[in-house]
């Protein structure tokens, strides 16, 4: 399973996030790289980049939340951070036979796009994974 599939599975399996975004398998408001429908708000688009390969692989994951409503965007962002930012008490867990050892929110930002009248929030994470054999 690829890191993009793992992130997609993790995001779409959380009922709270799915409800906040209004995701369904038909509208696909959570997707990798390119939004399914650029005018169907809110939506989440994410990209992953290999950062370090080894026994445990490290990736950078950029998650972009796009919404017409800033409060809605902030609620979605908080839920994504709750899912992907490990705290001290958090333990590794697996998604489809891949262990997620650690994930950390390392930055991002918010901007308003005048032309589209939408808000965009970028959340950047480092994610460490190991495929279980």
Query: pTM of the entire structure?
Result: 0.91
Percent of the chain beyond pLDDT 90?
A: 74
- What's the pLDDT at 94? 77
Q: Edge-to-edge strand order for the sheet containing 43-52?
A: 30-32, 43-52, 57-67, 118-131, 98-113, 93-95
Report the interhelical angle of 3-12 vs 70-84 (nearest 10°): 120
Query: Number of folded domains in the chain?
Result: 1
- What's the pLDDT at 111? 96
Helix segments in the chain, DSSP class H: 3-12, 15-21, 70-84
**CATH number assigned to the domain comprising residue 56:** 3.30.2000.30
Rounded Cα gap, residues 27 and 90, in angstroms = 32
- What's the pLDDT at 19? 98
Range of the domain at 111: 3-131
Query: What does the pLDDT average to over 82-111?
Result: 84
In this predicted model, what pLDDT tens digit does every residue of 3-15 receive, in sequence order?
999 999 999 999 9
Query: What does the pLDDT average to over 100-120?
Result: 94
In this predicted model, what pLDDT tens digit does every residue of 49-79 receive, in sequence order?
998 888 889 999 999 999 999 999 999 999 9
In this prediction, residue 88 has a pLDDT band, given cuts at 50, 70 and 90, of low
- What's the pLDDT at 24? 95
CB atoms within 10 A of CB 73: 21
For all residues of the chain together, what is the average pLDDT?
92
Q: Which residues contact 131 (CB under 8 A, 6 or more apart)?
A: 1, 97, 98, 99
């Amino acid at each position: 399973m690829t890191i993009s599939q793992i992130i997609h599975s993790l995001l779409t399996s959380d009922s709270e996030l799915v409800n906040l975004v209004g995701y369904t398998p038909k509208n696909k408001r959570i997707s990798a790289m390119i939004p399914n429908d650029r005018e169907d708000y809110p939506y989440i688009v994410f990209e992953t980049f290999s950062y370090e390969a080894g026994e445990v692989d490290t990736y950078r994951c950029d998650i972009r939340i796009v919404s017409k409503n800033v409060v809605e965007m902030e609620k979605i962002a908080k839920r994504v951070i709750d899912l992907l930012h490990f705290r001290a008490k958090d333990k590794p867990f697996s998604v489809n036979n891949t262990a997620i050892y650690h994930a950390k929110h390392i930055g991002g930002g918010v901007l308003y796009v005048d032309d589209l009248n939408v808000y965009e929030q970028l959340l950047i994470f480092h994610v460490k994974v190991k495929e279980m054999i």
